[in-house]
Structure 1
Amino acid sequence: MLTRRILLRIGTTFTLALAAAGGLQAAPQTPAYQAMMDALTRAHAAVVGVQVVAAEGARSAESLGRERAGSGVVIGPDGLILTIGYLLLEAETIQIVTQDDKALPARAVAYDLATGFGLLRPLVPLRGVAPVPLGSAVQARAGDSVMVSVGGEEADVTMARLVSKRPFSGYWEYHIESALFTSPPVRNHSGAPLFNERGELLGIGSLFIGDVLGDSRRVPGNLFVPVDLLRPILPELERTGSSAASRRPWLGVTSTEQGGRVQIVRVNADSPAQSAGLATGDLVLAVDGEKVSTLEAFYKRIWAHPNPDDEIRLTVLQGAEVRQITIKAMDRMKTLRRPAGI
Structure 2
Amino acid sequence: MRVVSTPVVPRLAATVLFLIGLQLAVPDVLPANAAESAQLDPERVVRSVVGITATVPADSQSARTLGTDREGSGVVIDGSGLILTIGYTVMEASQIQVIAADGRSYPASMVAYDPVSGFGLLRAEMGFSAPWLRLAGPGAAKEGETLLALSGGGNRGATAVKVVGKREFAGYWEYLLDEALFTFPPIRAFNGAALVNREGRLVGIGSLLVAEAVEGRSLPGNMFVPVSALEPILADLLAYGRRQEPARPWLGVTLREEMGRLLVEKVSPRSPAESAGLRPGDWIVGVGGQRFNGLADFYRKLWGLGPAGIVVPLEVMRGSTLTPVPVTSADRVRFLRLNPTL
Contact 1:11 1:37 in 2 (8 A): no
1:254 corresponding residue in structure 2: 254
Contact 1:113 1:246 in 2 (8 A): no
Do the aligned partners of residues 246 and 200 (structure 1) sit closer, same or farther apart at CA in structure 2, a change above 3 Å counting?
farther
Contact 1:287 1:298 in 2 (8 A): yes
Q: Deviations over 1:64-87 (max 9, x none)?
A: 110101000111121111000001
Contact 1:114 1:243 in 2 (8 A): no
Counterpart Cα distance in 2 of 1:193 and 1:209: 17
Do the aligned partners of residues 140 and 34 (structure 1) sit closer, same or farther apart at CA in structure 2, a change above 3 Å counting?
closer
Cα shift at 1:213: 0.8
1:38 aligned counterpart, secondary structure:
coil
Contact 2:36 2:199 in 1 (8 A): no
- Paired residue type of 1:60: S
1:199 corresponding residue in structure 2: 200
Do the aligned partners of residues 23 and 166 (structure 1) sit closer, same or farther apart at CA in structure 2, a change above 3 Å counting?
closer
Contact 1:262 1:293 in 2 (8 A): no
1:292 corresponding residue in structure 2: 292
2:206 aligned counterpart, secondary structure:
strand
Do the aligned partners of residues 334 and 35 (structure 1) sit closer, same or farther apart at CA in structure 2, a change above 3 Å counting?
closer
1:235 corresponding residue in structure 2: 235
Cα root mean square deviation, aligned: 2.2
**1:10 to 2:16 alignment:** yes
2:122 corresponding residue in structure 1: 120
Where structure 2 has 5 or more consecutive residues not aligned to the other structure, the ranges are: none
Cα shift at 1:33: 7.5
Counterpart Cα distance in 1 of 2:179 and 2:341: 30
Aligned residues: 335
Calculate percent identity across the aligned residue pairs. Answer: 37
Cα shift at 1:341: 8.8
Counterpart Cα distance in 2 of 1:138 and 1:22: 21
- Paired residue type of 1:323: T
Matches within 5 A, 1:81-92: 81-92=83-94
Cα shift at 1:305: 3.4
Do the aligned partners of residues 246 and 46 (structure 1) sit closer, same or farther apart at CA in structure 2, a change above 3 Å counting?
farther
2:302 aligned counterpart, secondary structure:
helix
Which sits farther off after the overlay, 229-238 or 116-125? 116-125
- Paired residue type of 1:312: V
1:131 corresponding residue in structure 2: 132
Q: Deviations over 1:223-273 (max 9, x none)?
A: 000000000100000111111357221111111221122222222222211
2:279 aligned counterpart, secondary structure:
coil
- Paired residue type of 2:62: S
- TM-score by structure 1 length? 0.92
- Paired residue type of 1:7: A
Q: Deviations over 1:144-168 (max 9, x none)?
A: 0100111112211111001111111
2:110 corresponding residue in structure 1: 108
2:274 corresponding residue in structure 1: 274
Counterpart Cα distance in 1 of 2:226 and 2:144: 17
- Pick one of 49, 69, 78 that aligns with 1:76: 78
- Paired residue type of 1:264: V
Where structure 1 has 5 or more consecutive residues not aligned to the other structure, the ranges are: none
1:48 corresponding residue in structure 2: 50
Do the aligned partners of residues 34 and 311 (structure 1) sit closer, same or farther apart at CA in structure 2, a change above 3 Å counting?
closer
Q: Deviations over 1:89-126 (max 9, x none)?
A: 11100010001111000100000011000000012233
Which sits farther off after the overlay, 313-322 or 261-270? 261-270
Cα shift at 1:40: 3.9
- TM-score by structure 2 length? 0.92
Do the aligned partners of residues 36 and 64 (structure 1) sit closer, same or farther apart at CA in structure 2, a change above 3 Å counting?
farther
Contact 1:53 1:93 in 2 (8 A): yes
Which sits farther off after the overlay, 139-148 or 91-100? 139-148
Counterpart Cα distance in 2 of 1:185 and 1:33: 30
Contact 2:143 2:165 in 1 (8 A): yes
- Paired residue type of 2:137: S
2:94 aligned counterpart, secondary structure:
strand
Counterpart Cα distance in 1 of 2:174 and 2:59: 22
